[in-house]
Amino acid sequence: MTPRLTKRKFLIAAAGGIAAIGVGYLAKENWISKQSHSTNFISNKTETTSTDQINTSVLPPGQREIDAIMRWNIDHRGIIPTNPKFEPDKWILTVDGEVENKLSYNWQEFLEIPTVESTNDFHCVEGWSVRNCKWHGIKFKTLADMVKPTQEAKYVFIECADGYTTSLDLTDLLKDNVLLTTRLNGKTLEESLGGPMRLIVPDKYGYKSAMWIDRINFTNNKELGYWEKYGYSYTADVWSNDRFEKTNS
């Protein structure tokens, strides 16, 4: 298990330009947009709706711009040594918990859900940001409308093929720019960036944007995810520099 990082260690690492926190899966947020030679996962749909954000010239506090998202287990180490492999005929996404319609999708069924494009900056808790990432995928809200969360559903706990987990308030996931995405900058989302499908939550640090998702569980209680258990912030708001859980001193 990766040892817990202290605030002091994090600041030293950021100052030295070191990106070795394993946080990202944390932030699963580590990925350069170099396209690998991989199966084309994209839906055959030709019409998408743009949900582009209005880009700001100001980065969130404590962030610096880099050219591209770091790739998992290539540019940045993962929580396991080898990334999960995509097998289209075996891929399943389960959506359950506090919902009226518990559903599971195979890959082809998932690609039949209407898609959008959204351009947003991507922010890693380690202190780097990538501007104007063009994501293509399904609005989380669209999926939620299909499964119909009950009144008891307040949170969503996300599980991934590499053992990673994270949790968010349902209200945060229902924003128009939150996607379950399959493409980045016009290219199939490669394995090292979370392909075939990952979550993107632009207003949160990247460890909330889980990769290789295989289960989405709507719940009535807040559960801590992989990195939150090590002291990283549950809310993870990039504009308030919300990297670590507040502790009483």
Task: Work out the pLDDT band at 246, boundaries 50, 70, 90.
Answer: confident
Residue 38 has pLDDT above 60, yes or no: no
> If you average pLDDT over residues 161-175, what whole number do you get?
98
> If you average pLDDT over residues 96-113, what whole number do you get?
98
Q: What pLDDT is stored for residue 56 in this prediction?
A: 53
Helix, strand or coil for residue 167?
A: strand
How many CB atoms sit inside 10 A of residue 246's CB? 7
Residue 176 has pLDDT above 50, yes or no: yes
Task: Work out the pLDDT band at 243, boundaries 50, 70, 90.
Answer: very high
> If you average pLDDT over residues 99-122, what whole number do you get?
98
Q: What pLDDT is stored for residue 160 in this prediction?
A: 98
Residue 189 has pLDDT above 50, yes or no: yes
Q: Which one, of 72, 186, 84, 77, lies nearest residue 135 by Cα?
A: 186
> If you average pLDDT over residues 118-142, what whole number do you get?
97
Which of 44-53, 68-77, 153-162, 238-247 has the least mean pLDDT?
44-53
Tally of CA atoms within 13 A in the half-sphere of 213 that contains its CB: 28
pLDDT more than 70, % of the chain = 76
Q: What pLDDT is stored for residue 221 in this prediction?
A: 96
pTM to 2 decimal places: 0.79
Residue 37 has pLDDT above 90, yes or no: no
Q: What pLDDT is stored for residue 86 in this prediction?
A: 97
Domain locations along the chain = 7-34+61-240
> If you average pLDDT over residues 118-127, what whole number do you get?
97
Residue 193 has pLDDT above 50, yes or no: yes
Task: Work out the pLDDT band at 105, boundaries 50, 70, 90.
Answer: very high
CA dist 209 and 86 (Å) reads 18
The larger pLDDT score, comparing residue 163 to residue 20, is at 163
Considering Cα of 170, then 127, then 25, then 134, what sign does the dihedral take? positive
Q: What residue spans of 5-136 are helical by DSSP H?
A: 7-15, 23-27, 107-111
Fold of the CATH domain 7-34+61-240 = Sulfite Oxidase; Chain A, domain 2 (3.90.420)
